[in-house]
Amino acid sequence: MLEKLRTKIGTEGKIFEDYGGYEILVLNSEKFPWKDVFEMLIDSGFQVWIVKNNSHIQIESKPEVN
């Protein structure tokens, strides 16, 4: 999953693993593949949050716990 996300995001963001989930720092919000990234995370059973980190948008995700 990590490599698929890295490939999809390319140079438009940076991705980090975090406690079984991912933190994605959006570097270029106009070219970032929002739809694809959200679908990949949600379809893989992750919960997703969006926060602002300084001047960048950050996507945080973790595996959904049932």
Residue 64 has pLDDT above 90, yes or no: no
Please give the angle made by the CA atoms of 6, 8 and 12, to the nearest 5 degrees: 80
- Residue 6: half-sphere exposure toward Cβ, Cα within 13 Å: 6
5-60 tens-digit pLDDT: 999 999 999 999 988 999 999 999 999 999 999 999 999 999 999 999 889 999 99
The pLDDT of residue 23 is 97
pLDDT at 65: 82
Q: Is the pLDDT of residue 66 over 80?
A: no
| CATH 3.90.1070 fits domain 2-63 | yes
Alpha helices in 10-64 (DSSP H): 34-43
pTM over 0.75: yes
Domain residue extents for the chain: 2-63
